[in-house]
Amino acid sequence: MYNFDVEMPTTIAEAVKALGREEAQPMSGGQTLIPTLKARLAAPSVLVSLHGIAEMKGVCNNDAGQLCIGGATTHATVAAEVGTQYPALASLAARIGDPAVRNRGTIGGSVANNDPSACYPAGVLASGATVVTNNREIAADDYFLGMFETALEEGEIVTEVRFPIPEAAHYEKHLQPASRFPLVAVFVAKFADGVRVAVTGASENGVFRWTEAEEALNANFNAEAVAGLKADGSAMISDLHGTGAYRAHLTGVMTKRAVAAITG
Amino acid sequence: MPKDHGIGASSKRREDIRFLTGEGNYTDDINVNGQAYVYFLRSDVAHGTLNGVDTSAADGMPGVVRIFTGADFEAVGSIPCGWQVTDKHGEVMQEPRHPVLAHGKVRHVGEPIAAVVAETLEQARDAAEAIVLDISELPAVINMKDAVKAGAPKVHDDLTSNLCYDWGFVEENKGAVDQAFKDAAHVTTLELVNNRLVANPMEPRVAVGDYSRGTGDHTLFTTSQNPHVIRLLMGAFVLGIPEHKLRVVAPDVGGGFGTKIFHYQEEAFVTFAAKACNRAVKWTSSRSEAFMSDAHGRDHVTKIELALDKDNNFTALRTDTYANMGAYLSTFAPSVPTWLHGTLMAGNYKTPLIYVNVKAVFTNTVPVDAYRGAGRPEATYQLERLVDKAAHELKVDPIKLRRQNFITQFPYATPVAVEYDTGNYVATMDKLEEMADIAGFKKRREASEAKGKLRGFGVNCYIEACGIAPSNLVGQLGARAGLFESCTVRVNATGGLVVMTGSHSHGQGHETSFAQVVADMIGIPEDMVEIVHGDTANTPMGMGTYGSRSLAVGGSAMVRATEKIIAKAKKIASHLLEASEGDVELKDGAFTVAGTDKSVAWGDVTLAAYVPHNYPLEEIEPGLEETAFYDPSNFTYPSGAYACEVELDPETGQVTIERFSAADDFGNIVNPMIVTGQVHGGLAQGIGQALLENCAYDSDGQLLSASYMDYAMPRASDLPFYDVDHSCQTPCTHNPLGVKGCGEAGAIGSPPAVVNAVLDAMRSGGSKVDHVDMPVSPHRVWEAMQG
Ligand SMILES: Cc1cc2nc3c(=O)[nH]c(=O)nc-3n(C[C@H](O)[C@H](O)[C@H](O)COP(=O)(O)OP(=O)(O)OC[C@H]3O[C@@H](n4cnc5c(N)ncnc54)[C@H](O)[C@@H]3O)c2cc1C
């Protein structure tokens, strides 16, 4: 780890100001950032901790009935508190990492990092959620731009994520055996106006919507409808744990299983 | 009634109090006044010419004490190899120089090139970043078969090729073996890979070097399984320090699994640097460094063939193995694929003719050496996979085929140079069949199938040779060391004992089980016996702990030393009792005279030894302290039969272990609970190898599985509740305790059972595949099932 200063703001405004300092970087749960710092792969001169910002923590509902989760809310809190409203999202949060990770890691950190194998991006994209920052609101469809790439600008922080609540949803995760991140995971969300299917872990371009599956499910919301569907493996990740073809296959299997879990 | 103390009792592990409450004293807990820290700058290329190391920008950086490069070690010896293998032509193996810091060339990712000693670790890292390396990258050799092709780039320019040795065993049998294959009614052939593993002990390696200018004494604190061996190897061969000026301390060690047997560059470095800098120097490996500098395990590529007659009797076995040595020869590396592997190829079977060929190959990878089981898991895996394949091809029951070919007469001289003293393979298989509930399998399979899953059952046997080993035998085989063990028993005046053993405990619970033996022999409470190990300054020269040798060899030395103590104590007692020595008996901690009510307590005798007022001084010396060295006359041969039941998700290839049964014969057992624990741990590592663990390089020699993000360690949820039994006991015939050793069995015996079960499941789903290499990951299983 290189040396750095730490700022501990208590409001979003203070955090934004602190992030104006040269080579400043926000830190939320630190579950991704601290290992990166330890390996000397990042060298911020100031770490701005989001941990003490009360207005970025917790779960509530807005007037539109959306589920609003503060950017600095831990996975453990989401797992514990959204279960009645949005069980699929609670279940997603409950299966991230281990208890230590869930007690520190946050939704804002996960969404900002946009790891191609992270869980939240699938939940956010499939839900058609809105990523709220200190100065704007970004629709999920416009937010995830590729592997570790998002629409966030320098110094911009994710303060909240707003989820419309689907009629039914399910998150199906096939584990990468070492990291236990998703090797491929699929979030299926069924809304009155259509089905959204988001896939994480699979693509070289990060989380994506599997539109063919959405079309098939809009026509017939049944596991059978996607059973024969093949995802395109050409731009999928190939590594030690599976080829692109395997990931493409798993995309189909996870989607089918997610739908089956919903239809029961 | 299970015993509640002494031999055979499940005494609670006394060491766990300190381990579980954070009171252990590990090497990293040791801090020497004024110590500096070293950071090793390691190669990030697999193969290259090292043209220069420019430290000029780093030298004056804050906190830097001194920066060392390969040039500083030119006059220092090579990291030695402890075993010299002679090849099939009678030539000795090729043995390259192994420098403390790379010089002239780098040969694997992770090889240390420069070492920065600084006031703090972060300052050392900062300075290391300012060192400029001039490396001309060379093509790397990673694949073993490519490495031995003509014209392949050479890992060591001064060797004739990348072939370390080409070993044939038993060379004289080769013609007869080949003939038997010609005459065979059936031949089964299998090509497989024994996957490379990273040992991953919970505690990474640590070394602290200290030097006293006033006395000229060196001290090395290190995470070692064998401090005396390190003292000898490093002192005599690398740094030229005589044993009496070098103390090596291996305090609490958090797991070794073989990888802490070997003498490593970092140990020599801190010892050397402590003198050069005149202050203590500490190195603590990060987990990332451990992945690229701890010796790896396994990594064999094998073709194995079995010849059978028309009645399915095994008539001959032939193997052809490539064994990866990595870039340098680690301490015992050459012995692992030869004497710890070829000699085990008979397994539990009376195959009359066996020929084993092993080509050991240098590649641009981390050195490979012994890892839990060392050679024996490789032997067991290929043999037991092959027998299973033969059973499938011949459409006979795999258990029946095994039973038919079991060795049943003991002692049994194998065609591969070893003699099994005892065993009862039929008994362990009977026990296993009972434990595994084979009758209920059909129902369980139907239940799995009803859920859309496949279910498979796999079985295997194993035999291993442990309790290594007779020194005169291993000497003939190329060992450059003796393999005796030692023990000093010191009885204190008030009757307590300090047992100083040359064995080392790094998780095995010796402090408990060794004390049980001594307490039982004297008839005193176990807490009167203290076990001391791990410090060359207060233990007799011993060879340490590996190869499941501690109780069989170290325990035997302890028994011999305790017998000497008892003999002398009897002499003292007979004087105190005014009886003839032959009439004195020791029982339950008291000396009695047969046929009388005369008695003297253990404590009175020990007090007399040190306060010899009433004592036969003209006949015996005062004091009560004895040392024994024990050199075994043979290996010990634990054996067993394992069964695994898996469920397989045909859509994803995911395998889960539903049941695992292990029936082992370890001979006599001192502490059943500890033995069960050892089996559990071994099974976790064997199942880890079979399903999860894979150390992989890309073709440029970059380590792909360089952290836990990609190297899959078994977690509790990957493992079933084991069913473990060790009631089948055929005591070892040649050591005083009749014990065989249990530390490696689980890791040796489990991988084939798992893979056999997975293949059985795949076949039940209609797959025609006859082999999948480990780890049988979901991806590999799915791919294999695609046909
Ligand atoms: C052992 C382990 C297992 C894991 N398993 C999983 C898993 O199964 N699935 C999964 O999805 N994740 C997994 N993770 C990752 C975990 O969920 C992380 O917590 C998460 O990815 C990052 O969240 P964080 O709050 O820790 O962010 P940090 O580590 O603090 O930050 C990550 C990055 O985001 C930036 N950042 C943080 N917060 C904000 C914000 N509000 N606005 C803008 N930028 C911000 C930081 O500057 C940094 O670049 C695992 C992590 C570990 C260590």
Tell me which residues have their CB closer than 6 angstroms to ligand 1.
A 25-33, 50, 71, 96-97, 101, 104-106, 108-110, 112-113, 115, 118-120, 152, 157-158, 180-181
The fold of the A168-263 domain, in CATH, is: Enolase-like; domain 1 (3.30.390)
Q: What ligand 1 atom has the least distance to the C-alpha of A44?
A: 47
Ordered by start, the domain boundaries in chain A are: 5-49, 58-163, 168-263
> For position B469, what pLDDT does the model report?
83
B587 C-alpha vs ligand 1 centroid, how far in Å?
Answer: 65
CA-to-CA distance for B655 and B294, rounded, in angstroms?
Answer: 30
Q: With CB atoms and an 8 Å threshold, state whether A177 touches B777.
A: yes
**Best CA proximity match to B160, nearest among B331, B362, B447:** B362
Give the separation between CA A12 and CA B402, rounded to whole angstroms: 71
pLDDT of residue B2: 74
In terms of Cα–Cα distance, which of B781, B672, B729, B194 is closest to B453? B781
Q: Identify the segments of chain A with pLDDT beneath 70.
A: none
pLDDT at B588 over 80: yes
Of B288, B651, B691, the CB nearest to A253: B651
- Asked whether the predicted pLDDT for residue B787 surpasses 80, the reply is no
Quick one: average pLDDT of B588-612?
96
Which residues in chain B are contacts of A183 at CB distance < 8 A?
778
In this complex, the residue of A3, A177, A243 whose CB is nearest that of residue B712 is: A177
pLDDT for B368-388, tens place per residue?
999 999 999 999 999 999 999
Average pLDDT in the B409-427 region? 97
Query: Separation of B294 CA from ligand 1 center, angstroms?
Result: 30
User: Which pLDDT band, with edges at 50, 70 and 90, does B3 fall under?
Assistant: confident
User: In a 10 Å sphere around its CB, with 0-12 CB exposed, 13-18 middle and 19+ buried, how is residue B440 labelled?
Assistant: exposed
How many Å from the N-terminal Cα to the C-terminal Cα in chain B? Answer: 55
Query: DSSP 3-state helix, strand, coil percentages of chain B (rounded to 5)?
Result: 30, 25, 45
Residue B63: pLDDT over 70:
yes
What is residue B468's predicted lDDT score, i.e. its pLDDT?
87
Q: Give the whole-angstrom CA distance, residue B151 versus residue B168.
A: 24
Of A39, A243, A250, nearest to B652 by CB-CB distance is A250
Q: Which residues does residue B64 pair with via DSSP β-bridges, in sequence order?
A: B118
Closest C-alpha to B164, from B1, B360, B307: B360
Tell me which residue has its CA closest to atom 5 in ligand 1: A97
**Substitution candidate for ligand 1 out of A11, A12, A16, A33 with most atoms within 8 A of CB:** A33
Q: Of the ranges B260-269, B362-371, B464-473, which one carries the lowest mean pLDDT score? A: B464-473
Bridge pairing between strands B281-284 and B36-42? parallel
CB contact under 8 A, B125 and A40: yes
Give the model's pLDDT for residue B396.
98
Q: Whose CA is nearest to atom 33 of ligand 1?
A: A113
**How confident is the model at residue A1, as a pLDDT?**
85
**B610: which DSSP letter?**
H
Supply the DSSP string of B494-543, one letter for each residue.
TS-EEEEESS--SSS-HHHHHHHHHHHHHT--GGGEEEE-SBTTTS----
Give the up-direction half-sphere exposure of residue B319: CA atoms within 13 A in the CB hemisphere: 32
Residue contacts between A and B (CB atoms, under 8 Å): 48
Task: Compute, in angstroms, the gap from residue A97 CA to the centroid of ligand 1.
Answer: 10
Distance (Å) from the alpha carbon of B553 to chain A's nearest alpha carbon: 38
Chain A residue with Cα closest to B705: A240
Given a cut of 90, whether residue B1 has pLDDT beyond it is: no
Q: Are B552 and B732 in contact (CB under 8 A)?
A: yes
The mean pLDDT value for B582-596 works out to: 95
Structure tokens at B324: 């990866």
Contact A178 B712 (CB under 8 A): yes
Cβ within 8 Å, pair B651-A178:
no
Vertex B320: Cα angle to B256 and B191 (nearest 5): 85
- Placement of tokens 């003699």 in the chain: B419
For the domain bounded by A5-49, which CATH number is listed? 3.30.43.10
Q: What is the pLDDT of residue B225?
A: 97
pLDDT > 70 in chain B, percent: 100
Looking up tokens 């004497």 gives B339
Number of other CB atoms surrounding residue B31 within 10 Å: 11
pLDDT at B776 over 80: yes
Of the candidates A245, A236, A249, A86, the residue with the CA atom closest to the CA atom of residue A170: A86
Q: Which CATH class is domain A58-163?
A: alpha beta
Distance B126 CA to ligand 1 centre (A): 27
Alpha-carbon distance of B617 to B615, in angstroms, equals 6
CB-CB neighbours of A111 under 10 Å? 26
**So what's the pLDDT on residue B620?**
94
Largest Cα span, chain B: 86
Residue ranges of domains in chain B, CATH in brackets: 27-138+202-255+260-293 (3.90.1170.50), 296-468+634-785 (3.30.365.10), 484-630 (3.30.365.10)
Strand partners, B361: B163, B324
State percent of chain B over pLDDT 90.
98
